[in-house]
A = this chain, B = another copy of it.
Amino acid sequence: MKPQDRYLPPEVCREVGSVLECIGDKWTILVMRTLDGGSLRFSELRRSISGVSQKMLTATLRALERDGFVTRTVTPTVPARVDYTMTDLGREVMVPLNALATWALRNQHRVSAARRSYDAKSARGK
């Protein structure tokens, strides 16, 4: 396989990239993994994911809704109740996504070891 044959057509790249991009940002994977266990309302999600700000959780959920990965259901009680649920599409993408997360969980020590080694070398001026 020659180098120049090793890429997809630009249009396809951009399409696929736009799918991977929405998964790549800071909170998306955490939110999806949390929701994959079952529907949750906003405040439950927020408590389950430590460190997420209200703004970012809202933004992340909006993006997931737009991409068709979660649905947003408003129950107009007072105060309002909003539930988030994975769609079929969302559950499908969780299969490869969970595989990746599982890999990360099992191999984090190898990555951090590589980092320590690299940083040690850099510190020695090499």
Q: When chains A and B are docked, how far (Å) is the Cα of A94 from the Cα of B104? A: 12
In chain A, positions 76-126 with a C-beta closer than 8 Å to chain B are: 89, 92-93, 95-97, 99-105, 107-108, 110-115, 117-119
Copies of this protein, total = 2
Picked from B13, B100, B110, B117, the residue with its CB within 8 Å of the CB of A96 is B100
- The 25 sampled A-B contact pairs (Cβ below 8 Å) are A1-B38, A3-B44, A4-B47, A6-B48, A7-B48, A7-B49, A8-B105, A13-B50, A15-B108, A18-B112, A19-B108, A20-B104, A23-B24, A23-B100, A24-B25, A24-B29, A68-B113, A68-B115, A68-B118, A89-B107, A89-B110, A92-B107, A93-B107, A95-B99, A97-B100
| Interfacial residues, chain A to chain B (CB-CB below 8 A) | 1, 3-4, 6-8, 10, 12-13, 15-21, 23-26, 29-30, 34, 37-38, 40, 44, 47-51, 65-68, 89, 92-93, 95-97, 99-105, 107-108, 110-115, 117-119
